[in-house]
Structure 1
Amino acid sequence: MARANRRLTRRSRYTPYSGGPDPLAPPVDLTEALDAIGEDVMAGSSPERAMRELLRRGGRQGPGLDDLARRVAERRRELTRRHNLDGTLQEVQQLLDRAVLAERKQLVRDVDLDDGDRALAQMQLDNLPSSPAAAVTELNDYPWRSAEARQDFERIKDLLGRELLDQRFAGMKQALENASDADRAALDEMLTDLDELLEAHRDGTGTQEQFDDFMARHGDHFPERPGTIDELLDSLAQRAAAAQRLRNSLSAEQRAELDALAQQAFGSPALMESLGRLDETLRSLRPGEDWGGSERMDGGTGLGLGDGTGVLQDLADLDALAEQLSQSYDGSRLDDLDLDRLARQLGPEAAVDARTLQRLERALRDSGTLRRASDGALALTPKAMRQLGQSLLRAVADTVSPRQGGHDVRRSGAAGEPSGSTRAWAFGDVEPWDVTRTITNALTRRAAEGGTGARVAIGIGDVEVQETEARTRACVALLVDTSFSMAMEGRWVPMKRTALALHTLVTSRFRGDDLQLVAFGRTASVMEIEQLVGLDAQWDKGTNLHHALLLANRHFRRHPGAQPVLLVVTDGEPTSHLEAGGEAWFDYPPAPLTVALTVRELEVSMRLGARTTFFRLGRDPGLARFVDSMAARVGGSVVAPDVDDLSSAVIGSYLGSRRNGAFGAWGADDEPFRL
């Protein structure tokens, strides 16, 4: 036995964790979340809306808000369809019927009873009103012959008192069953002291000491153990408001019956008077509670007043959870979710799911992937753009041909022999350190700071790397069509994915290259990657490749020492050009002047040395003829990828241009492009 007790004690040390975030919970995976947000942003959603949509859908880490909201709605429907609110009246009727039946049996068995008295008693029982309340009132003075009948009749009064108290103080119905006179006296004392406590609070004269003294004497009646008068008020007012909603949900006949029966509670109307004063005080102190609502409940299971009030409280909890889960109010955040209430209504698993979503939202806001812009809206940070771009590049790397990659990108930037000069290290540099210069810098800095000792601490600012000869650079212009047809034909998001993947590759692996993104619709403009990724679909007609080429050529001229690379993504012939005054001119079918100006600017790109690749989207024969002739005119190439393969095609073309134009011939043993 002692050994068993020791085993029981050892097991009892392990209890559910409470008091903060679960220390054993797996870390939040932001990769999936950021990919989903990025997809929605590129499809036209704002980052704020995209994040909320992610939280609504959920993912591999667990269900989302929509699933929790569905379960809340199902729980609410279950409560309203299963129950009805006339359980107390049904129980009173049953007790009354039992008492009358037992009394009739006793009248038959009692041979000593005078026949006149027996006939009078039977007549009184036969003519009882159909209303339970009226019948109970009429039988108050009835001289019961049956002890069993008298006991059932007294249970009616006891039941009513316990139900009325259970409406205001959860658990009273069970606590006062078979209560003694001393128990009822203690209850009367509690109600009197509570009335004084609440009155003092309403008058502004109440103190914490008065509250503590009340709880020391009557705390057993409040198992939730409130710590302040306000917590006590909130608990009492929520319960009382639910009791009022239950009353509002009854029919007029049911309310009249219960009001009449309530006067018989504990054999005296004093309880109703005390509870009436309590309700009035709570209503004045907590007017914001829902005192006027009602519920339609027509199920098969009858509920007593106390249990019905509990169900009405559950319904109020579910309504509050539904609002919190909707996140539709200003300033809403998942931290608003009441996890204790959620666990109480849907179980602990639902609270775990909600806590996971809270951690995900907090991680997205606090990890540097989202920032608050000047207008108050959320925006993707450069860090988020890099992470999203790296995710896209990983997908692209699996599809780009080894011959397109042509080299291991980890060796980029160190093509030539060391020149003998050095420079300060910058993020992304892969050149070897100049150890002598680096240590010299560290020693000089330590001497300037007055440091001593044999050990030398090297800081980032001390590091210098060896410069190399022939640091070949590419000057890249990616021209992306943003005309009406791109959005209409479902090419909008793939275009953005392509731009982001190329931007990430250039800025992370080929930092010496200069990339310019040009979006062209009716007019063209240079865009930062954040601006292009967040660009809404453009519904203006017009494909101004002429203007886009003007901007690309200006970019090439600014970098005369770099290899120009021109990449054009389009799904339509040029239908717009820029006039001398700066206005855009549009016509369809394409006007000869528009075509001539576009071809002329493309030839300028050729004379600047640009290697040109057209990425033709769609199967329009006119577009195919035009693009083929344009590419042939400038010695360029044409790729007609499926829209889902656009990123791979553009990345492969860029790497191929650098290989063929910048680094010379590559051997058969070159390593493939990898991340």
Structure 2
Amino acid sequence: MKYFYGEFDGEEFPTQDKLFGFDNLMDFILQYGDQALKALQQMMENPKDDAQSELLEQLLKDGILDKDGKGRLRLTPRAIGRMQRKALIEVFANLKQGQREGHEKVTPGSGGERIEGTKAYEFGDPVSELDLHATLSNAMKRATEARRQEGTKGHSPSSDAFVPGSPNAAGRPRAKIDFSEKDFELHLHEGVTSCSTVVLLDMSGSMMRYGRFLSAKKVAMAMQALVRQSFPQDSIDFVGFYSGAAKIPEIALPLAMPKPVTIYDYQVRLKVPIDQLDKAPQHFTNLHMGLQMARRILRKRASENKQIFIITDGQPTAHVEGDNVLLLYPPDPRSTAATLKEAVLAVRENCRIATFALIEDYWGMDWVGFVDQLARLTKGLAFYTSSGELANCIMESYLSGRKKKAHIA
């Protein structure tokens, strides 16, 4: 049996009569992942009383839980959708007021909400968005200035005036207004721009502490709901990195958990073939492989903007070298160098990188130097935050692009 220790938050473990409300059940599954479903499976197969059995059967009828071909419990798409929406509500309930609600890009022409202001016409701009009032005003001002200059040169000002069709003093119709291309002004719009994001989730053993992975997982699910609800032109993918790295499907995200620590030696130096990596200890931090996978995903995206969010609580302790993966503890400069090189390659492919460093461990603060070095080399963003503030940092970065200090000069 494996034990995980963490700080007690003061909340009692949910008893049977409290567990089966939807919110409590979803929190239970998010916190314990596959182990929670296995516990529910055992309760279903060996119920202690009729009430317990009826409650589980009701969850099946309500479409919250389902069974696969082997009779094992699984979450339904309906349950996952509700979990995502609940996470989104929680996240936005805690966000500070005053942030923008999208990836804004001020442009002329159609495609978004019209905003205050105009711009001069440029070749290729849509003439359907001409601001007639500003354009007419420009033409009249230009005509007035031209007549004034004629008067200063000794020529009598022309009696032609500004309002087409109205008679002048001599009874003749006034001249029509001549428009120049320089007179044209267009309305400004809040243009729509697409964004592809890959979120790299640290699944190493230390992410179990202080509720770090639970907080990261809730933010990830909130982002899924946000993209589906408000930014359908965007794409978002999740990659978990540990001793290896793997893409996390949407349906599997609620059940994802950090890898348990299986080696406690004070020094580890392992070289494992990639095709045998699943047989090796899984609790190391292979951000190098995670970045490789993120680059492959983003190459397939056609979005105007591409970005990589890294959520981690420690520096790399693994990297790819040829056909092998090196698992190295304490952290080795070779893993750091390989990871930084991969990050620079991502930036050269026009990917923005933001790193969210979880720093509850005061004794482990020395590792943030790696995050600072990563921000310097990639000219990216670095957020040093606790698990409780992670949602604020990520959502503010995603929604508004608000610049934080990227590096220390």
State if a TM-score over 0.5 links the two structures. yes
Shift of 1:648: 2.9
1:566 to 280, 294, 308: 308
Q: Which amino acid aligns with 2:313?
A: D
Structure 2 equivalent of residue 442 of structure 1:
none
Structure 2 equivalent of residue 493 of structure 1:
214
1:646 to 379, 385, 390: 390
Structure 1 equivalent of residue 31 of structure 2:
43
Structure 2 equivalent of residue 393 of structure 1:
88
Q: Which amino acid aligns with 1:40?
A: F
CA deviations on 1:280-314 (whole Å, 9 max, x unpaired) are: xxxxxxxxxxxxxxxxxxxxxxxxxxxxxxxxxxx
Bigger mean CA offset, 37-46 vs 519-528: 37-46
C-alpha spacing 1:418/1:631, structure 2 compared with 1 (3 Å)? closer
Shift of 1:614: 0.9
Q: Distance in 2 between matches of 1:483 and 1:509?
A: 32
C-alpha spacing 1:556/1:363, structure 2 compared with 1 (3 Å)? same
The answer (yes or no) to whether the contact 2:203–2:257 under 8 Å persists in 1 is: no
Shift of 1:418: 5.6
Structure 2 equivalent of residue 113 of structure 1:
none
Greater share of helix = 1
- Structure 1 runs (4+) deviating above 3 angstroms are 45-52, 327-334, 357-363, 468-471
C-alpha spacing 1:471/1:31, structure 2 compared with 1 (3 Å)? farther
Q: Distance in 1 between matches of 2:25 and 2:233?
A: 30
Q: Distance in 2 between matches of 1:387 and 1:418?
A: 31
The answer (yes or no) to whether the contact 1:37–1:51 under 8 Å persists in 2 is: no
Structure 1 equivalent of residue 229 of structure 2:
508
SS of alignment partner, residue 652 of structure 1 = helix
C-alpha spacing 1:561/1:375, structure 2 compared with 1 (3 Å)? same
Structure 1 equivalent of residue 334 of structure 2:
593
Q: Distance in 2 between matches of 1:329 and 1:567?
A: 39
Shift of 1:557: 1.1
Structure 1 equivalent of residue 22 of structure 2:
34
1:603 to 344, 352, 372: 344
Shift of 1:328: 5.6
CA deviations on 1:91-125 (whole Å, 9 max, x unpaired) are: xxxxxxxxxxxxxxxxxxxxxxxxxxxxxxxxxxx
SS of alignment partner, residue 491 of structure 1 = helix
CA deviations on 1:367-394 (whole Å, 9 max, x unpaired) are: 2221112221111112111111111111
Q: Which amino acid aligns with 1:594?
A: S
1:474 to 195, 205, 224: 195
Shift of 1:470: 6.2
Shift of 1:656: 2.2
Shift of 1:530: 2.4
Superposition TM-score, scaled by structure 2 size = 0.62
Unaligned runs of 5+ in 1: 1-29, 53-326, 338-353, 420-467, 661-675
SS of alignment partner, residue 220 of structure 2 = helix
Structure 2 equivalent of residue 205 of structure 1:
none
Q: Distance in 1 between matches of 2:396 and 2:19?
A: 25
Shift of 1:51: 5.2
Q: Distance in 2 between matches of 1:378 and 1:589?
A: 40
Structure (1 or 2) with the larger CA radius of gyration: 1
Structure 2 equivalent of residue 629 of structure 1:
373
SS of alignment partner, residue 21 of structure 2 = helix
Q: Distance in 2 between matches of 1:622 and 1:385?
A: 38
Q: Distance in 2 between matches of 1:392 and 1:401?
A: 16
SS of alignment partner, residue 238 of structure 2 = strand
1:377 to 54, 61, 72: 72
Shift of 1:534: 1.0
In the alignment, structure 1 residue 580 sits paired with structure 2 residue 322: yes
Shift of 1:471: 4.5
SS of alignment partner, residue 613 of structure 1 = strand
CA RMSD of aligned residues (A): 3.3
Superposition TM-score, scaled by structure 1 size = 0.39
Structure 2 equivalent of residue 301 of structure 1:
none
Same amino acid, percent of matched pairs: 26
The answer (yes or no) to whether the contact 2:210–2:387 under 8 Å persists in 1 is: no
C-alpha spacing 1:644/1:399, structure 2 compared with 1 (3 Å)? same
